[in-house]
Amino acid sequence: MTTPRSKIGPSGFDQLFSGKAENQLRVKTGIVELDEMLRGGFMPGDAVMLAGSAGTGKTTLALQYLVNGVKQGEPGIYVTFEELPDQIHRDAKNFGWDLRKMEEEDKFRVICTSPSLVLETGDNSLLDDVLRDIQPRRLVIDSLSHLEMFVKRDDMRMEAYRVVRYLKTHGVSSVLLWESPQISGGSFSVTDVGLSFLVDCIVALKPVEIESSMRKALVILKMRGSDHDKRLREYEITPAGIKIESAFTNYEGLISGSPRKVASEKFMELFRGASEKQKRA
C-alpha cells in the first residue's frame, strides 16, 4: 500500500529543488532563446528596462512580450506617448499580431496619452480604470524617456520611481522602454539620470558594426535575484518578430564600439590561411 501524496507534498519539494517550480513562476517573454537567457523568463512583478537606440526593435520586442502574454492568458497594456494606437495596430499586423481582435476580447489595450498625464498626482491615476477593466499582468511604457520632457532632470529619478512603484503595487510585470543614444564605454551606463538602479532587470539592444555590416546585439546587463546569460547574442527582426541567434563568441569589444576578433579566432584564421597555402603548393 502506498502513502497518498499531498498536493503540496514531496512532488512540490522535488520541483522546488530541481528549479522547476521557480521556472514555472517566471514571466515568459515567449521568445524561447530570450527566456533561456533569462533562466525561464522575467521575475514576476519586476520592472524591466528595455534600452536601445532608434531602430533596434524595442517596440517590436515589447509588443511581442505582450502578445505572447495574451496567448498565455495574461492580459496586457501598451502605453504609448509617441505613436497613435492606429499606427501600433498597423505595425503589429505586419508581424501577424491582431491587436484589434485582442482589444475586442478585452485582453489587450493600447493607451495613447501624454507623459504629463502619467505624472499627474491626485486621487485618480490615468491607468486606474484600465487596470480595473482588464486586470493586466503585463504592461509596457513606450517610452520612459518621454517623461524627461516634462520633468526637471533632478526629479526624473523620483518620478520614474513613482511610476515603477505604482505598477508594482498593482502586481504588474512592466517593461519600460528607454531610448539610449548609445550604450558603450566601460561604465555600461544605460541612462544618465540614474534609472538603472530603479529597475530590476536591464535588457540592452545595440547595433554593432562588424566587417562593414550593421548587425544587432542583445545583452542582459542586470537581473536582480537571478542568474542570467551574460553573453552578447545576435538577433534579427524577422516577419514573425524578434529572433535571437547565437552569441558573438568570435568578437570582443562590441559594447565599446570597437569590435575585433578574439585572439583565438585570429590564430585560427592564420592557421586556415597557412593550411590553404600549403594545399595549393
Given a contact cutoff of 8 angstroms between Cβ atoms, the answer to whether 49 and 203 are in contact is yes
- Cβ-proximal residues to 140 (8 Å cutoff; 6+ apart), any chain: 62, 63, 65, 66, 76, 77, 78, 79, 174, 175, 176, 177
Check residue 237 for interaction with other proteins (CB under 8 A): no
Among 23, 125, 184, 226, indicate the residue that binds other proteins (CB under 8 A): 125
Name the 3-class secondary structure at 158: helix
- Nearer residue to other proteins within complex by CB, 98 or 236: 98
Q: Which residues between 180 and 219 bind other proteins (CB under 8 A)?
A: none
Given a contact cutoff of 8 angstroms between Cβ atoms, the answer to whether 179 and 56 are in contact is no
Alpha helix positions (H), 155-224: 156-169
Check residue 158 for interaction with other proteins (CB under 8 A): no
The 55-94 site mask, x for binding other proteins (CB under 8 A), equals -----------------------------xxx--------
Check residue 254 for interaction with other proteins (CB under 8 A): no
Residue 225: DSSP 8-state: T
Q: How far is the CB of 126 from other proteins (least distance, A)?
A: 5
Grid cell locating 78: 501598451
What is the distance between the alpha carbons of residues 219 and 38, in angstroms, rounded to a whole number?
A: 10
Check residue 132 for interaction with other proteins (CB under 8 A): no
Q: How far is the CB of 134 from other proteins (least distance, A)?
A: 11
Q: How far is the CB of 111 from other proteins (least distance, A)?
A: 4
- Nearer residue to other proteins within complex by CB, 118 or 201: 118
The 99-118 site mask, x for binding other proteins (CB under 8 A), equals ----x-----xxxxxx-xx-
Give the helix, strand, coil percentages of the chain, each rounded to 5.
40, 25, 40
Q: How far is the CB of 216 from other proteins (least distance, A)?
A: 29
Check residue 122 for interaction with other proteins (CB under 8 A): yes
Which contiguous run of DSSP H or E holds residue 216? Answer: strand 213-223
Task: Summarize as ranges the residues that interact with other proteins (CB under 8 A).
Answer: 84-86, 103, 109-114, 116-117, 120-122, 124-126, 129
